[in-house]
Structure 1
Amino acid sequence: EMSQKLKKASSLEEALKPEKVPKGLLWEDWEWLVLEHYTDPDFQIKSSINSENRANLTMVSRTGSKPIRQIIYDELGGKDGKVPDLAEIFKATRKRKDGTLTEEDAVVYDTIVEESNNNPSMSQFDLVEKCFGVQDRDRVICFGYGTKPEDIRGPQPSKAELKAELLIKDRQISDLRGWMDNIEQHKANHQKEISDMQEAHKRDIDKLEAKIKMLADLLLGEQSNTKAI
């Protein structure tokens, strides 16, 4: 509202007139906003970019003057503690007076439902980004202005937390590799034991066969001597 007052003024002098000061604001504060903030080149660049982005929106909310969060609260069970799914919110905030969706919105709605059915464990925030792209500003599509990404997905972990988690994962991987190495070593030892047992068994059989052969030779020798007598 305040920036609109400045845009409507024909000059800075007119904007700084006492009657142009927004209600509830001191003239000194208004002067600072006009001369230091609204006329700052960085602010004007950002304002221009934001205006272009709003003009390029291909999907707009049809909730009228009723905020999206109010619709969630009043119509989708929010006041009873229910958390509506993304498809419900999308349809409720984009349906026309007759309750139907435009052809374009119907395609998006079907996409949301399909993705939700195919990935039932996907979080609401991940589903939003899957269907609408990265949400990295001060609003999340379908959840209204003022709802930031962290309000839906929860706070992002800090670098220290990520580093600690990475160290834990590294230890787990190291432990797993050690466990696998132990299994391989145990397997190798077991194979060696089997091989040693097989060789010992073969030696025992060879000795037994040698004894049998020796006894057979003795018996044959005795039989030959008996016949000779």
Structure 2
Amino acid sequence: MISDSIQPPDIWHSNGVKYFVSFNEFYQPIKKGGHILVRFIGDVAKTERFCPIREINWCHVNAQLKVDIIKLIRSVRQYRHYLKKALFKPTLKTKDQIYQAAPSGYPRDSWIHLVDYWYSEKGNKFAERGNEARSAQNHVHTTGSTSYANIRADLEEKNGREPSILEIFKHTHQRKDGTFVKDTITKDFLVNIQTQLLLALFFTKSRVQIENEAFNKLMYGDDVPKRPLGYGYGVKQSDVYGVHGILRKERFYGDGDGDNNALALQRMEKVVADLKDENKGLVKDHEELKTKFDESNFLMKKMTSQFGQILDVLGTGKAPVGFLDIAKKVLHTSNSEVFDFVSGSHPSK
């Protein structure tokens, strides 16, 4: 095993050396091998023959070039952002001076094409949108280039269990000295979550479940997020909150130790069958409850109508002799029907 730092040039000239890359349950690269892979892909994105910077829209890139690049096109955008931040200084340099500052390894015409885009109305419009989106961020992470997938893996290895979303959020948004990024609401957000946790202490759920529910409630409200926070790139809504998420939590996708696919499929089929049976039972219970509600509603309306009629007669002051005895019997009969209904013996209408 190589213990020294491995840089992208080492991989380009590895002469057949193979690097082992681990992936988590979301198929994200983790550990040292994953870090090497991500950095190498980033280096691929900086290579002109694979990712020409003159192409402003990724859809315009040659289809074969896309096949040659692993699906992390964010690296292309991030590198263009790096070039813009480092070399595009319109307030300090003229356009011609910026033209002359082309990065090494790139044709000058490609660089000029990119600079012209940054100067264009469309380029400025997208830049303004990006600045607005950045300023609207209420939470800013403090982990630099370390991926969320690696942070999850490190916390799981350290604690011997899967970390909650809250643990990951605290770890990725809190500095080493315990402070938070200035002008963010992260500190108040975590205080509110702690309040929710205190209210949930007496529920029979695991600590991770309680923390996840409290985090999701305060972060997303009643909405299911399209991009779940704390999982990193590549994780979709369905991976966490859909069927895939449920099966993953129940370990139906195997634990990575050679779990037989056929056996896993049988287990999933059994779960689906059980869910169908449970759904049938819920439908039946719903129909029974609806029937009971309709009958209860009918009895209450009947009793209310009778009681109202009795009050109307008494209000006139002209109730006939024996009226109260008759009214008492009527109400007693209605009361008996209600009692029979509550005890399970349905009255006939």
TM range (shorter): 0.3 to 0.5
Greater helix proportion: 1
| TM-score, reference length from structure 1 | 0.47
Q: Which of these two proteins has the greater Rg computed from alpha carbons?
A: 1
| TM-score, reference length from structure 2 | 0.34
